Structure 1
Amino acid sequence: MTIRQFLSEAYPTRSRKGAWQDILSEFGLRSDAADQGLESFATASLRGDRQSLLLARLTAGDQTLSPLVRRPGGPIALISLDESLGMRLGSETLLIEAGSLVIVPAVGEWQLCLRKSARMIVLSIADSLFPGHKAGLQTLKAPRHYVATGIAAIFIKTVETAAGEMDSVSELEWRSLEGAIADLFVAIVLQAETHDAAASPGSAALFHRVTLGIERHLHEPELTALRIARLEGISERYLQKLFLQNGESVSNYIRERRLQRARAALVAPGEIRLPIAEIAYSCGFGDAANFNRLFKERFGLPPGAFRSRHLEKLAANTNAEQRGWPLSALVAKRLQQRSIDTGDAFADSDGSEAEAGSSVHHVLAASAATVHWGYFSRALPPVLEIRSGDTVEIQTLTQHASDAPELMIHGDAGAEDVFYWTAQKKSVDRRGAGPIDASIYGRGAGEGFGVHICTGPIYMKDAEPGDVIEVRINSISPRPSNSPGYEGRAFGSSVAAWWGYHYNEFIQEPKARENITIYEVFADEGYAEALYSYRWQPQADPFGVVHRTYDYPGVPVDRSSVEICSPVLEGVRIPLRPHFGVIAVAPREAELVDSVPPSYFGGNLDNWRLGQGSAVYLPVSVPGALLSIGDPHAAQGDGELGGTAIECSMTGDVTVILHKKGELFVELSYPLLETPTEWILIGFSHPNYLAEFGKKGQGEVYANSSLDLAMKDAFRKARRFLMESKGLTEDEAIALMSAAVDFGVTQVVDGNWAVHAIIRKSLFRV
C-alpha cells in the first residue's frame, strides 16, 4: 500500500509550487498558483496510479484549476465536500454545490475556481478499467453536473468512503474497489447518455440496457450474440450493428468483460484461495486452457503468475520501511500528515519595527468585560488597541479557580466578576464554541467545547494577514489570593480528568474517576506543594444542571460534597515552570473556534518553555491579529498526561511586536517558540485541522490525532526550518536532526496532539 502525501508547508517556499504542480499533473491538471506562487494552505493524499484508478483528497484555495494541454487518460470526477465551487465554461459559470459531482472531459476549455480552503475528492480512471464502454465515454464533450440522487448518490458516497479509508484498505481490497468504482462511473455516464438520447432502438439507452443484461448473464458459458438478442427482443444482426457503432463486436465485448471480471477475482480478498480453474468457470469460460491463453494474451502473464506477482508486490509493500516486528503484526500505519515552517534568522530581533520612543505601557485587567471563555473568534470586538513595541501588563485567570473558590476566587474582585453565577445570572454565559442554548448535551451555554479563560482580544494596529506577531514574555508571576485568611498566598489546581491520557489505564478501583489536587504555589522559593485532593462528585451548577463528570468549566465545587484527602504528595516539592498555556491570534476560518485544540494560530500550546524570557511568533490571519492570552500554569510536565497542568492565575508583562510580511521570515505559517538558547518548533497531528477537515474539523480533530502524525509534522517543520533559515540541504538537515535535535511529547490531551523539536542555537557558530 502506497499513500502519497503532499503538504504545502512541508516544502521550502522555493520548491513548493513545483511540488504542487507535480501532484496536479497526475490527474492532467494544472493550477495558476504555479505561476503566481502557492501561498494558500494545500494538502493532498493520493492512492493508485494513472494506469488504473487514481484517487485523491485535496485541500486548496485561491487558485484556478484547468486541464493540461495534452492530457492523457479518461474523464475526471470531482466531488466538492464543503463549499460550492464555480466552473467557468467559456462565458458561462456552472455552480457545483457541496456534495455534488461533476465529471469533466479529458480535454476542454473548462476552469475550476477555488476560493477559501476548498476540500474536494478527485478521481481519475484509466480506459483499461472500462473496456467495451470507450465509445460511450467518448461522448462526454463537456463537464456534466450530477446532484446526489439515485446512482450518482451511491457513487458519491462510495468514492467519499474510499477516499476517507484509503490508508486502511489493503491492496487486495483496493483492487476490488477499483472495479466497483469503475462500474458505477460507467453507469452514471451511460445513464446520462440514456436520458439525453432519443428513445430509438439505436440509441445509447438500448446499448446501455444490453450491456447490463450481458453483465447479469456473463457467468453463462453459452452466452452468445444470438442469446443476447433474444433476451433483449431484437435481431442478432441489429445487435452486432449496435456494438460496432460503439467500437467493437459483441464477442470481443463479452470476452473482455469476462477477462476483466476474472482479473479482479484472482486478487479479490474473498477469492484469493480459489483455484484458477474455478474462477475461470465462474466468469463464463468453459475451458481452463483457453482461459489461460486468452488471459496471457490480454495481460501479458498467465493467471497463476499474475496472482503470484500481485501477492509478492503486496508482501513487499507490507514489509517496506518497517524495522523490528513485521507490519502485519502491528497496527496499520496511520495516514501521514502535515508540516509547517519558518524563515530567516530572528534570534537577534531588537523590536526596531516599533517607532522610536513611541512604545506605550498598558494594563489589561481581568474582568467579565475583558475575557472570553473557551473560544477564539475573528468576530470578537477588541478590548485593547496597541502599536508594535507596546508592553502590556495582562491579568489572566485559570478556569480551575472554581475547584477551590474559597482560595482562588473569594475576595478577588476580578475573579468574582468573571466567575459570578447565581440561579438568576451568569456574568460570562458562553463557555465554549458550542451552541449558546446548550442544545447538544445540555451542559451550559457553549457546551464546554473549549474551556480556557482568555484575556483579550488585543488589536495590533496595522497588522494584516501574512504579517507575524511576536509576543515576548518579560515576566510572569502568580496572582495572589485576596480571600480572608489567605491574603498574599497563591494557589493552583490540577485535575486528572476524563480527557487525560491515563483515563482508560487505571489499575485500582474505582476505575472511572476524576481526581483534583489543590496546590500552594511558593513563587519566591520556586516550588509548589500539594495541600489536599478530592475525587470529583456530581456537582449541581447554580442553574440546576448536574455535572456527573468534569464536563463544563467554572462549575463551583461545593466542598461539603467531596471527601478531602490530606496530606497528599507528602514530602514532594514540584519545581515551578510558570507560563501561559494559551497564546493565540484569531483564526481566519470559523466564527467560533474551540480553545482546546492548538493549530497554526497558536492557541492551547501547553509548552512550559513559553515562560519568562521566551517569545512566540504567530502568523496573522485577520486584520489586527486579535491576540488573546490565558490558561496560566504554575508548572507542567511534557505530555500534560492527566489532562491539566498546575492551573494557577497569573499576571504577565509582555511586549508585542509586529513584523510585516517578509521583513523577518521567508514565511511563517505556524507558532514558533524562541528561548535565549533554543528554537522550538511544535508539530501537531493536524497543523491546520480547520482547513483539513472543513466544517467538521472541530470534531474530527479529536478523533484522528496521534503521536505518529504529530512527530511527522515536527520533523517536517524542523527540516524546513533548517533548510530555509540555516541554508542546509535536506540531507544535512536530516543528519543534524538525528544527531542533535531533541524531539519530545508536548501534550496528549488537547485534541490535537503535539510533539516539539528543540534546536539549540549553540549548534551554529554564526
Structure 2
Amino acid sequence: MNIRQFISESYPVDTRDTAWRDVLAALQLRSDFKNQEGAEFTAAVVRGHADGLLLGRLTATAQTLTPIRQRGRLPLVLIPLDDDIEISAENCGFTVASGQAVILPADRSWKASLPRTMHVAVICLSDSALNGQRFGLSPLVAPHLISAKGLASVFIRTVGAAAQDLDGLNDLEWQSLEQVIANLFLTTIVSCIPSETGTNASQAALFSRLTMAIERRLSEPELSASRIAGQEGISERYLQKLFEQNGESFTHYLRERRLQHARLALVAPDELRIPIAEVAYSCGFSDAANFNRLFKERFGLPPGAFRTNHLKTLMETANAEQRGWPVKALTNRKAQKRSAVDGTQGEDPGLDDARDTDATHHVLAANSRTVHWGYFSRSLRPVLEVTSGDTVEVETLTQHASDDPDLMIRGDTAAEDVFFWSAEKKNVDRRGAGPLDASVYGRGAGEGFGVHVCTGPIFVNDAEPGDVLEVRIDDMSPRPSGNPDYEGRYFGSSVAAWWGYQYSELLEDPRPRENVVIYEIFPDELEGGYAQARYSYRWAPQTDPFGVNHKTYDYPGVPVDPATITPVNPVLRDVRIPLRPHFGVIAVAPREADPVDSVPPAYFGGNIDNWRLGKGASVYLPVSVPGALLSIGDPHAAQGDGEVAGTAIECSMTGRFTIVLHKKGNRFSDLTYPLIETPEEWVLTGFSHPNYLAEFGAKGQGEVYAKSSLDLAMKDAFRKTRRFLMASHGLSEDEAIMLMSSAVDFGVTQVVDGNWGVHAIIRKSMFNG
C-alpha cells in the first residue's frame, strides 16, 4: 500500500517545519509555515505514485502555499474541504469556497493562502497518469476556478470523498479510483477551460473511451483505426480528427503506446526471462526486426541492450528496500521448483550430527549440514527423527553473528562452518527463498528473501496433516563465544535496519541510515540477567567475498570488515536491558509453496517474534505435511513488543525441547494458527494475512509485504480470540466479546516481518479449574 501519513505531533518542535515541507514537496508545493513553539498542528495523508497520480489530504494551519515550478507536469488541483482559500497570481485573484476547486498551473507563479486551520485535498498528476492523453488540453497560464456544476461537481465530490477515506481504501479500490480521477480530471478541464482547438467535454470523454479500447487491444497486431472506430460506432475519419486534436495521428499514438508497454515489459521483474521477440509479439508487433529498429529510434538503445543496462543498474543499486519477493515475482515458477532448495534436498544431510543420548533424548548440533538458511520447505530431507514425547537439545545460531565475527564466529567450530564464505565458496550457499542465480537483485543465492538460520527439519513420527504439534521449551541458554580471548562470555547484536518501522521516520541526518549495536549478555539464573551495549556502528557498504557490494543490510551473513566501520563507545550508557530469552522462529513446513521465505509468519508458525515464547512456554502448530518437519532458529536474548527497529537482540542459543503430537480429534482438532501457552496465559497471534500463501497465491511472498496493516492483524486477533473463548471455554459470542474488552490484553507483536502481528493475552486465572 503506497501511502504516507504525517502528524506534526510525532516530531520534535524544531524539526516540524522541515518534516512538513518534505510532505508538501511530494505534491509539488512549498509553504511559508512557521511552527510557533509547537502550537500549530499539521497532518497529511498522501497516496499514489510520483510518476502517476498523487492525492493528498492536508490538515493545515494558516500558511501560504506556492508551487515548486516544474515544466511538463499537468496542472495541480486544490479543493478546500471545509473553508475558503484565497488565490492570487500576477493578473488575478479570487476566493475558492468549500465545494469548489481551483486548477493551478505547475509552471507559473501563484499563491494559495489558507487563513486558518482547514482541510484541503490536493491532486498532482504526471502525463503517465493519462496514458498519453492530452486531448483538448491547452497550456494553463493562470489559476482557474471550477464551480460545482455538472461534470465538475462529480469530479469535486469524487475527489473530496476519496481524500476523506484515503487510508481506508484497499489497493484494488484505490487502483480503480486512480483511473476514475484521472479521466474526470481530463474531461473536467476540457469542459471548464476553453480549448484552443475548440474541444468540448463530450469529445474528451469519447477520446478517453477510444484510448481505453486501444489499451485493452494493444496485443492485437491487426488493430487498426477502422476497427476501433467501428467498435465505438463512429466513422474512421472522425476518429482520425479526434487524434489530430490530441496532437498526433492514430498510427503514431498506437505505436507509442506499444513501445511504452514494451519498455515496461522488458524490465518487469516477472518478465525478465521472457525472450525479447515474445515481448514484441505480446505488445502487438508482428515483426521482431522492425520492433528492434523502432525501439532503438525511440529509446536510444536496442531492446536487448536496454534490458541489460537496466539489470546492471539494478544490481549496482540493489536493496530497493524489498525484503521479500517483488510483488511481480521474477522467477519462472517451473524453473524455481527445479532449483527449489538447492543441493541439500538430495544429499545426505549429515545424520551423524544428530545423536541419541538415550531412546527418547536427542542432541541436534548446528553445522552446515543440519541448518537451512532463510526458508522453509516441505521438500527438505529431515536431519533428525523423533517420536511424540521425545526431548531434543537443539543448537541454534543467530544470522547476525557476522555483525562482529571476532566475538560471535571466531573459534566456534559450528559457527565457522555455517558462516564460512571465501572467494571460492559458501558452505551454506542458499540464503533465502529467491532464485539461486541471484537474478532479481544480484545479492546472492536465495537473494536474502528470508534470513533466519534454522536448525532442522525434524521429522516427527506419525505426524499427519490435521494433527497438532506441541513444542515445549524446557530450557534455553546463550551460546558462549568460541574466541579464547572472550572465553565464558556471551554476545549478541541488534540492527536498526532498512526494513524497520523507523527507517522513513528518522529525524537526524544522515537519513536514511542503519545502525548496529553489539551487546554483551550477562545471564543470571536467579535475577534473570541483562544485556549491556558494548559498542555501536553505522552500517557502511560491505563487499562480500564473492565481490558483491551491499550498500545496506540486505543479505544475511555478509562479514563486516572492522576497517570499514567507526565504533561508537559508550552507547546506551548505564542502561541494562532485562533478558527475555526466546526463539523467534519455531515452524513446521507449510503446505503451499516451496521454498517459502522465512520472514513472514503465518499459520505454520515461523517468525512469530513473540518474547513470551521462552523457557516454560509451549507453542501449538497445525501440521500440514507428513512428519511435520519442525525447524527452530532466530534465537533472541531480549525483545520488546513491536520489534520496531527490525531486530531483537540476536544471540545464538541452545534449547531443550519436548515434542508432543496431538492427533486429530483432540481438543486442538480445529487449530489453524500458532497458539502459545505459558504457565499463566494463553497467547493468540493474529496476522494481517493469516494464510498469505493461499490468499495471494503464487505472488504471496511479495504481496504480503505490501499489504500488511495493524488494522487487519487486530481483526484477525479479535476473531481468533472470540473463537478460542467460545470453543475452549464454552462462552457465548456476547460473553466472549464482553470478556475480551474487559480482561484480554491485545498488543503489537511486530511490525517488521512482512506479515504484521497483534497478540491477545488471556489469563488462565480467570477460569475456575
Instruction: Note whether the superposition's TM-score is higher than 0.5.
Output: yes
1:672 is aligned, of 672, 675, 687, to: 675
Aligned partner of residue 486 in structure 2, secondary structure: coil
1:557 is aligned to 2:564 = no
1:585 is aligned to 2:588 = yes
1:455-470 map, 5 Å = 455-470=455-470
1:729 is aligned to 2:732 = yes
Relative distance call for 1:604 and 1:368 in structure 2 (3 A) is: same
Q: Percent identity?
A: 73
2:172 is aligned, of 162, 165, 176, to: 165
What amino acid is aligned across from residue 693 of structure 1 in structure 2? F
Aligned-pair Cα RMSD in Å: 2.8
1:534 is aligned to 2:548 = no
Relative distance call for 1:740 and 1:169 in structure 2 (3 A) is: farther
1:657 is aligned, of 646, 655, 660, to: 660
Residue 164 of structure 1 deviates from its aligned partner by: 6.3
Residue 626 of structure 1 deviates from its aligned partner by: 0.2
Q: Distance in 1 between matches of 2:763 and 2:170?
A: 40
Relative distance call for 1:215 and 1:701 in structure 2 (3 A) is: farther
CA displacement, residues 141-173 of structure 1 (integer Å, 9 cap, x when unaligned): xxxxxxxxxxxxxxxxxxxxx996247767996
Counterpart for residue 504 of structure 1 = 504
Using CA pairs under 8 Å that are at least 6 residues apart, name the structure with larger relative contact order, 1 or 2.
1
TM-score for both structures, normalised by structure 1:
0.55
**8 Å CA contact 1:359, 1:388 repeated in 2:** no
Relative distance call for 1:442 and 1:546 in structure 2 (3 A) is: same
CA displacement, residues 446-489 of structure 1 (integer Å, 9 cap, x when unaligned): 00000000000000000000000000000011001110210111
Q: Distance in 2 between matches of 1:731 and 1:573?
A: 44
1:442 is aligned to 2:449 = no
Relative distance call for 1:751 and 1:215 in structure 2 (3 A) is: farther
Counterpart for residue 194 of structure 1 = none
1:141-290 map, 5 Å = 165-166=172-173, 213=233
Residue 511 of structure 1 deviates from its aligned partner by: 1.1
1:633 is aligned, of 625, 633, 636, to: 636
1:367-766 map, 5 Å = 367-524=367-524, 526-766=529-769
Counterpart for residue 325 of structure 2 = none
What amino acid is aligned across from residue 704 of structure 1 in structure 2? K
Residue 596 of structure 1 deviates from its aligned partner by: 0.2
CA displacement, residues 233-287 of structure 1 (integer Å, 9 cap, x when unaligned): xxxxxxxxxxxxxxxxxxxxxxxxxxxxxxxxxxxxxxxxxxxxxxxxxxxxxxx
CA displacement, residues 695-746 of structure 1 (integer Å, 9 cap, x when unaligned): 0000000000110110000001001111111111111111110000000000
Aligned partner of residue 746 in structure 2, secondary structure: strand
Unaligned runs of 5+ in 1: 1-161, 188-208, 217-357
Residue 416 of structure 1 deviates from its aligned partner by: 0.5
Counterpart for residue 157 of structure 1 = none
**8 Å CA contact 1:685, 1:754 repeated in 2:** yes
Residue 664 of structure 1 deviates from its aligned partner by: 2.7
Q: Distance in 1 between matches of 2:695 and 2:663?
A: 27
**How many matched pairs?**
440
What amino acid is aligned across from residue 756 of structure 2 in structure 1? W
What amino acid is aligned across from residue 496 of structure 1 in structure 2? A
Aligned partner of residue 722 in structure 1, secondary structure: helix
Aligned partner of residue 456 in structure 1, secondary structure: strand
**8 Å CA contact 1:359, 1:391 repeated in 2:** no
**8 Å CA contact 1:679, 1:761 repeated in 2:** yes
**8 Å CA contact 1:666, 1:724 repeated in 2:** no
Relative distance call for 1:172 and 1:507 in structure 2 (3 A) is: closer
CA displacement, residues 106-126 of structure 1 (integer Å, 9 cap, x when unaligned): xxxxxxxxxxxxxxxxxxxxx
Unaligned runs of 5+ in 2: 1-168, 185-205, 214-228, 237-357
Q: Distance in 2 between matches of 1:371 and 1:215?
A: 69
Q: Which has the larger radius of gyration?
A: 1
What amino acid is aligned across from residue 452 of structure 2 in structure 1? H
CA displacement, residues 83-142 of structure 1 (integer Å, 9 cap, x when unaligned): xxxxxxxxxxxxxxxxxxxxxxxxxxxxxxxxxxxxxxxxxxxxxxxxxxxxxxxxxxxx
Aligned partner of residue 618 in structure 1, secondary structure: strand
What amino acid is aligned across from residue 509 of structure 2 in structure 1? E
Counterpart for residue 136 of structure 2 = none
Residue 666 of structure 1 deviates from its aligned partner by: 3.8
Aligned partner of residue 485 in structure 1, secondary structure: helix
Relative distance call for 1:605 and 1:163 in structure 2 (3 A) is: closer
**8 Å CA contact 1:359, 1:389 repeated in 2:** no
Q: Distance in 1 between matches of 2:379 and 2:514?
A: 35
Moved over 2 A (4+): 166-174, 209-216
TM-score for both structures, normalised by structure 2:
0.55
Q: Distance in 2 between matches of 1:597 and 1:615?
A: 20
Residue 213 of structure 1 deviates from its aligned partner by: 4.4
Counterpart for residue 257 of structure 2 = none
Relative distance call for 1:210 and 1:574 in structure 2 (3 A) is: closer
Q: Distance in 2 between matches of 1:496 and 1:683?
A: 25
Q: Distance in 1 between matches of 2:558 and 2:721?
A: 41
What amino acid is aligned across from residue 366 of structure 1 in structure 2? A
Q: Distance in 2 between matches of 1:679 and 1:422?
A: 46
Aligned partner of residue 744 in structure 1, secondary structure: strand
Relative distance call for 1:163 and 1:610 in structure 2 (3 A) is: closer
1:9-28 map, 5 Å = none
Residue 212 of structure 1 deviates from its aligned partner by: 6.6
What amino acid is aligned across from residue 165 of structure 1 in structure 2? L
Relative distance call for 1:169 and 1:733 in structure 2 (3 A) is: farther
Aligned partner of residue 399 in structure 1, secondary structure: coil
